[in-house]
């Protein structure tokens, strides 16, 4: 009798898992349009959610991430902590490491919205060549910048800052490349 009970329990468990899987699929397939993630827009200055880069090229780790768009653009890979300046025809002009801010933009397509030559960063550090492209978490401006002392310290997690730091030489290249309205693509 014990052997028969075990078979019944296994069968019921398998049936229950199948039903739960089916219901989960139905729920995800029937999300109202008002709750679904918006589709990416290449020409919008607002973030495009739902954008996913393809897997990184393991043979060429410094290659521009696949799925980051086309044309002249700045590509910022959050996970790699790296930026690519991509010119016409998809040719990489420069790539370099960055130090992410404590508040990051969501993956998507943005446009350079404003620039400042020399200012004090929201963390109190004197910075230069500020290239702003997004607003995250409702009100935190996000942009690339270089500390005048050439530091790339990890941001204080208690401060809500949007400064993506880079070396001064890289900041000079960014400043020359990323003028107002240049596309910035953020990938995971």
Residue ranges of the domains in the chain? 1-36, 73-187
Is the pLDDT at 32 greater than 70, yes or no?
A: no
Cα dist. 166→3, 41, 53, 74, 110 in Å? 66, 27, 23, 14, 19
| CATH number, domain 73-187 | 2.40.440.10
Torsion of CA 137, 140, 144, 148, to 10 degrees: -140
Q: Which two tokens stand for residue 176?
A: 């020359």
Quick check: helix, strand or coil at residue 75?
Answer: strand
Residue 182: HSE in the Cβ half-sphere, 13 Å Cα cutoff: 21
User: Could you read off the pLDDT of 94-130 as tens digits, one per residue?
Assistant: 999 999 999 999 999 999 999 999 999 888 899 999 9
Q: What is the pLDDT of residue 119?
A: 94
Evaluate if pTM is beyond 0.75: no
Band of pLDDT at residue 138, cut at 50, 70 and 90: confident
Between 49-53, 88-92, 168-172, 178-182, the lowest mean confidence (pLDDT) is in: 49-53
């Amino acid at each position: 009798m014990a052997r028969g009970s075990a078979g019944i329990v296994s069968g019921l468990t398998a049936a229950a898992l199948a039903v739960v899987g089916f219901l989960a699929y139905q729920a995800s397939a029937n999300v109202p349009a008002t709750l679904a993630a918006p589709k990416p827009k290449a020409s919008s200055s607002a973030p495009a959610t739902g954008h996913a880069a393809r897997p990184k090229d393991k043979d060429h780790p410094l290659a521009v991430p696949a799925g980051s768009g086309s044309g002249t653009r700045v590509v910022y890979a959050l996970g790699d902590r790296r930026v690519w300046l991509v010119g016409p025809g998809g040719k990489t002009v420069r790539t370099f490491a960055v130090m992410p801010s404590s508040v990051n933009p969501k993956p998507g397509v943005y446009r350079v919205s404003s620039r400042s030559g020399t200012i004090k960063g929201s963390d109190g550090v004197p910075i230069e060549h500020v290239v702003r492209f997004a607003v995250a978490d409702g009100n935190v401006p996000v942009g690339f910048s270089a500390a005048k002392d050439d530091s790339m310290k990890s941001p204080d997690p208690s401060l809500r800052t949007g400064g993506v730091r880079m070396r001064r030489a890289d900041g000079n290249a960014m400043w020359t490349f990323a003028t107002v309205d240049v596309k910035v693509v953020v990938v995971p």
